[in-house]
Amino acid sequence: MLEEIKNTAAWIREQTSGFRPEIGIVLGTGLGDFAEQIEAAYSLDYKSIPGFPVSTVEGHKGRMIFGTLEGRKVVAMQGRFHYYEGYTMQQVTFPVRVMQQLGIRYLFVSNASGGINTSFRVGDLMVITDHINLMPNPLIGPNLTELGPRFPDMHNCYDKELIARATAIAEQENIKLQYGVYVGGTGPTFETQAEYRYFKAIGGDAAGMSTVPEVIVARHMSIPVFGVSVITNCGLSDEIGDHEDVQLQGKKAGVKMQRLFRRMIKEL
């Protein structure tokens, strides 16, 4: 696996003339438009990258964008991979491993999620303060010692300094933020009402089908992480889960997320 990661990173460096990003960004459902704000120098389709899976989810364009944003070198994943698509956890997290080899020093992650906290409303941005993992752990199997320890600590999984910076920026930009714990499940079914009640009982504020594996792998490699969930539906209501509506709400609320991410990236 480590050799494959290094080979893919070497191939990407060759295709991008040695482009060395400082910041990695993972864009979730309905949030891919953010990549259009990047002054792109290179764009690589996932299907052309050796070792990469191909995103099969509607709303995920499936490409890596390399360029500058607010004067900083970034690489953005316009669409991610999910365990429910049939990929292994090693495949799901492979791009984060590759981004680390390319040089990223920070990882920004985003997702569309169902609100559990009854004070949340559709369109809210929830800064992720912690997570509960209900998926197989991506670190199961032989440890890649060169990348991180066998038993990585998950305290401060979502970087407190980055959260504090986001809070200050949100006050200046008049962006309302919620804060909470993200529950990561396998999907692909939207959660039952009983599952949402269970997630609430164990301390969850929002639920989704992604993000946690990427964050675990990033922290294994000691990369600081900042994460945002866009609340696209309220799980404890009687509304029926619909992927098309999730994409729509994600795009609408994503405008606020874009402003937040841009300012944070500028001030890193």
Least confident of 36-40, 56-60, 162-166, 251-255: 56-60
Q: Is this model's pTM higher than 0.85 or not?
A: yes
- Structural contact between residues 231 and 207, judged by C-beta atoms closer than 8 angstroms: no
Domain containing 13 equals: 2-267
Q: How far is 218 from 170, CA to CA, in rounded Å?
A: 25
pLDDT recorded at residue 95: 96
Label residue 28 by pLDDT band (50, 70, 90): confident
Using a pLDDT cut of 90, give the percent of the chain over it.
Answer: 77
pLDDT tens digits, one per residue of 73-126? 999 999 889 999 999 999 999 999 999 999 999 999 999 899 999 999 888 999
Check pLDDT > 70 for residue 268: yes
Q: Is 258 helix (H, G, I), strand (E, B) or coil?
A: helix
Check pLDDT > 60 for residue 10: yes
**How many domains does the structure of the chain reveal?**
1
pLDDT tens digits, one per residue of 109-123? 999 899 999 999 888
pLDDT recorded at residue 148: 97
Label residue 244 by pLDDT band (50, 70, 90): low
Helix (H) or strand (E) holding 257: helix 243-267
Q: Residue 25 belongs to a domain with what CATH number? A: 3.40.50.1580
- Structural contact between residues 241 and 190, judged by C-beta atoms closer than 8 angstroms: yes
Identity of the residue numbered 115 = G
Check pLDDT > 60 for residue 58: no
Strands (E), the chain: 23-27, 39-45, 63-69, 72-78, 106-115, 125-133, 177-184, 206-208, 225-234
pLDDT recorded at residue 79: 86
pLDDT recorded at residue 239: 58
Q: How far is 153 from 219, CA to CA, in rounded Å?
A: 8
Identity of the residue numbered 197 = R
